[in-house]
C-alpha cells in the first residue's frame, strides 16, 4: 500500500443455513480497506442461526477497524466502585435534588464538552500523518463534531474545520475511538461533542 490507511469499514453479510457467507456488501468505508474486509469475511464460517428449531438464513452488519498497532492506545478505566471513597451522609438528599421529577423523560442525547468526553476515552487510535501532507508541511487541527452511541462507539462524524489534506486521516482514526458510556441517572445516553485532532 503506497499510503498508510486507517479507518472503519462496515460490511453487511447474509449467512446461509449452513453458516457460510452467502453475500457481503460494503455499507461504508475506504474502498481500499473495504476490499480487505470483503476478502476476509468471505472466508468466515458461522454457527447457523436456529429459528423454530431449524437452521435459517440471517443477515447482520460487521464493523472492521483498521489501525496500525503503534497508533493504538488503550486507556485504563477509572477506579472501580469498591475503591471509591465512602459516600457522604447527605448523599440521599443530594441525589434526590438532581433526580428528574416524576413523569419527565430523561434525554436520549446530550451535548457534552470536549474536556468531559476526553476523560471517558478507553481506546484511542492516533492518526497516520499523510505522507503528502507531511512533505508539503501541512499541519494544523481537524475539528470534528462527533456523535457517541450509548455503547461508547463513534456513531457519526462531521467535519467542522481543518486542512482538507488531513481530514481523512483524522476521521479514520477517530472512527475507532471507544468511550465509557455517558450515564444520566443510571441510563446511558448518546453524546454530541467536539473532537480535535492535531497534526
The tens digit of pLDDT for each residue in 30-74 reads 888 888 888 889 889 888 888 888 888 989 988 888 877 777 777
Given a cut of 50, is residue 84 above it in pLDDT?
Answer: no
Cα–Cα distance measured from residue 155 to residue 97, given in angstroms and rounded to the nearest whole number: 32
**Range of 33's domain?**
7-66
Residue 90 lies in a domain: no
Query: Quick one: pLDDT at residue 14?
Result: 92
Report the mean per-residue pLDDT for the chain: 83
* Domain presence at residue 42: yes
Residue 87 lies in a domain: no
Q: Are residues 60 and 140 located together in one domain of the fold?
A: no
On whether both 117 and 167 belong to a single domain, the answer is yes
Confirm whether 99 is domain-assigned: no
CATH of the domain at 149: 3.30.2420.10
Handedness of CA 159, 161, 167, 171 (dihedral sign): negative
Question: Are 118 and 189 within one domain?
Answer: yes
Q: Is residue 29 part of a domain?
A: yes
My answer on whether 176 and 125 are in the same domain is yes
What would the mean pLDDT of 78-87 be, rounded to a whole number? 49
Same domain (yes/no): 112, 194? yes
Cell numbers standing for residue 4: 498508510
The number of distinct structural domains making up the chain is: 2
94, part of any domain: no
DSSP string of the chain, one letter each residue: --S---EEEEEEEEE-TTSBEEEEEEEES-HHHHHHHHHHHTT-B-PPEEETTEEE-EEEEEEEEE--GGGEEEPPPPPPGGGSPPPPTTHHHHHHHHSPPTTPPPPSEEE--HHHHHTTEEEEEPPPPPHHHHHTT---EEEEEEEE-TTSBEEEEEEEES-HHHHHHHHHHHTT-EEPPEEETTEEEEEEEEEEEE-
User: Do 59 and 131 share a domain, yes or no?
Assistant: no
Q: What is the pTM of this model?
A: 0.63
Of residues 197 and 184, more confidence is placed in 197
Is residue 167 a part of any domain in this protein?
Answer: yes
Least confident of 70-79, 80-89, 122-131: 80-89
> Same structural domain for residues 52 and 117?
no
Question: Rounded distance, CA 186 to CA 152, Å?
Answer: 15
pLDDT score at 3: 65
Say if residue 113 is in the same domain as residue 165. yes
Question: What digits encode the pLDDT tens for the residues 95-130?
Answer: 333 445 555 566 778 888 888 888 899 999 999 999
Amino acid at each position: 500500500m503506497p499510503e498508510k490507511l486507517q479507518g472503519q469499514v462496515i460490511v453487511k453479510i447474509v449467512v446461509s443455513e449452513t453458516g457460510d457467507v452467502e453475500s457481503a456488501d460494503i455499507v461504508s468505508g475506504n474502498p481500499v480497506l473495504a476490499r480487505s474486509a470483503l476478502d476476509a469475511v468471505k472466508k468466515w464460517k458461522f454457527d447457523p442461526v436456529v429459528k423454530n428449531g431449524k437452521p435459517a438464513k440471517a443477515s447482520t452488519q460487521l464493523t472492521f477497524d483498521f489501525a496500525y498497532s503503534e497508533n493504538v492506545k488503550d486507556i485504563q478505566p477509572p477506579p472501580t466502585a469498591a475503591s471509591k471513597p465512602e459516600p457522604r451522609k447527605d448523599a440521599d438528599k443530594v441525589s434526590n435534588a438532581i433526580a428528574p421529577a416524576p413523569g419527565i423523560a430523561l434525554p436520549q442525547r446530550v451535548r457534552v464538552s470536549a474536556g468531559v468526553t476526553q476523560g471517558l476515552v478507553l481506546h484511542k487510535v492516533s492518526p497516520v500523518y499523510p505522507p503528502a501532507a507531511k512533505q508539503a508541511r501541512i499541519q494544523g487541527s481537524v475539528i470534528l463534531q462527533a456523535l457517541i452511541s450509548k455503547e461508547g462507539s463513534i456513531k457519526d462524524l462531521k467535519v467542522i474545520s481543518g486542512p482538507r489534506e488531513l481530514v481523512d486521516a483524522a476521521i479514520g482514526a477517530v472512527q475507532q475511538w471507544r468511550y465509557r458510556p455517558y450515564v444520566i441517572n443510571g441510563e446511558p445516553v448518546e453524546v454530541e461533542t467536539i473532537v480535535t485532532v492535531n497534526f
